[in-house]
């Protein structure tokens, strides 16, 4: 029996520019292939500019503005990385509140690469074990998390991963976690 996300709406929160494109598109594709409904949420309407490391990638249309939605409207959340993406999101009060809402409701969250910076700002990593891009190790430890260097880490309703090379495992784990949560 295959894992299905039928009827589940999954938020992908990204800044107007700076999300690592593959960390947006591969989980998005995994959600769609599992019959879920992904929605691109950003801090402003229009389009977001993704990046392939430091080079501009494709542009993607925004489905919802974060200031006009809440975690109540979604079943799960994906936070792609890219250095600029979470660095911008963690300075936006609406984005931080949106993320915190998923944790308050114990809804599944998937985060990769530099994405945990937004989790740190939302003050939701204390007591959790997760992974990230290695440069976030000290930030996560200082925020009360246990950082480990593993391809994928699941801690309750949070799944985390380190980098684009980990995407196949990350996508599989996030679909399983999202499907298991009611």
Residues known to be catalytic? 113-114
> Hey, what are 68's tokens?
């006009």
DSSP, collapsed to helix, strand or coil, labels residue 157 as coil
User: Do residues 10 and 74 touch, judged by C-beta distance below 8 A?
Assistant: yes
Mention every residue, 6+ apart, whose C-beta is less than 8 A from residue 165.
none
DSSP, collapsed to helix, strand or coil, labels residue 53 as coil
* Location of structure tokens 């999300």: 19
């Amino acid at each position: 029996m295959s894992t299905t996300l039928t009827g589940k709406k999954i938020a992908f929160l990204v800044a107007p520019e700076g999300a690592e494109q593959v960390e947006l598109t591969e989980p998005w594709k995994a959600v769609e292939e599992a019959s879920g409904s992904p929605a691109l949420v950003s801090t402003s309407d229009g389009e977001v500019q993704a990046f392939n490391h430091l080079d501009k990638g494709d542009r993607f249309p925004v489905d919802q503005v974060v200031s006009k939605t809440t975690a109540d409207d979604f079943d799960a959340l994906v936070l792609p990385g890219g250095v600029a993406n979470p660095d911008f999101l963690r300075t936006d009060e609406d984005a931080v509140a949106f993320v915190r809402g998923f944790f308050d409701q114990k809804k599944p969250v998937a985060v990769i690469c530099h994405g945990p910076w937004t989790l740190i700002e939302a003050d939701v990593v204390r007591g959790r074990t997760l992974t990230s891009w290695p440069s976030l190790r000290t930030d996560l430890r200082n925020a009360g998390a246990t950082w480990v260097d593993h391809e994928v880490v699941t801690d309750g309703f949070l799944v985390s991963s380190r980098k684009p090379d980990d995407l196949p495992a990350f996508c599989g784990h996030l679909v399983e976690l999202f499907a298991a949560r009611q």
